Structure 1
């Protein structure tokens, strides 16, 4: 089945709009779109991410085990092309991003083999970026 990519929209709560605005623009390399005093639109690999101010709430980071790693829940992110993932992960390392899960190959040699990485934005939101060598395995069982 030929897949078409439709951009998604996600709203992310942040307690420090200025700090997160800088992170999404300068660390992730997102182009900034519209904004107000309470929110900022970004282009994240062709998808609309909007950071919205929300007062800080103290929550513990919850995780679920996947492939021997503790995956943060909730999280959001983007499935990238294999080469884009490699370049992006190296760029993040060069910028000193602290990873919750360092870039690695998950499910090596199995259905759904993928490159993946997790890190937090300055508001503590978990982000996952991944790539499949074979995009036809994105939903394979």
Structure 2
């Protein structure tokens, strides 16, 4: 692990069993502690907790970014460039339906990055991204 401290995020899911399988089998997150209402996962070195919550009828909100409709809220991680490419192929092979297909955002500009968006089985939006030059992560 790097010198960056891991973060913790807790998200609501209305289908604990289905989401538990998704994070473990599709995203390959190692499962940690759990109860009948929540499950901890090692989410790429960070702690993700899925908590049961009754289903909401709220619709997905988006904001425009680089000509795409980015879902808000969303969460995810920044992966190494080569890992991102392999991960995207693996997700596609597993039949994950993308909200925004993997592509290069801000191509040729400051902050150029590979990115993709998809939903978990509870409708939570996830973004995974990568930078060829990680120094561009917070570049203006």
Q: Give the distance between the partners of 1:4 and 1:65, measured in 2 at CA.
A: 33
2:12 maps to what in 1? 13
1:81 maps to what in 2? 80
1:58 maps to what in 2? 57
How much does 1:6 deviate?
1.7
How much does 1:132 deviate?
0.6
* Unpaired stretches in structure 1, ≥5 consecutive residues: none
2:104 maps to what in 1? 105
2:67 maps to what in 1? 68
TM-score, with structure 2 as normaliser: 0.97
How much does 1:5 deviate?
2.3
CA RMSD of aligned residues (A): 0.9
TM-score, with structure 1 as normaliser: 0.97
Post-superposition Cα deviations, 1:110-139, rounded to whole Å, max 9, x if no partner, equal 000000000000000000000011010100
* Unpaired stretches in structure 2, ≥5 consecutive residues: none
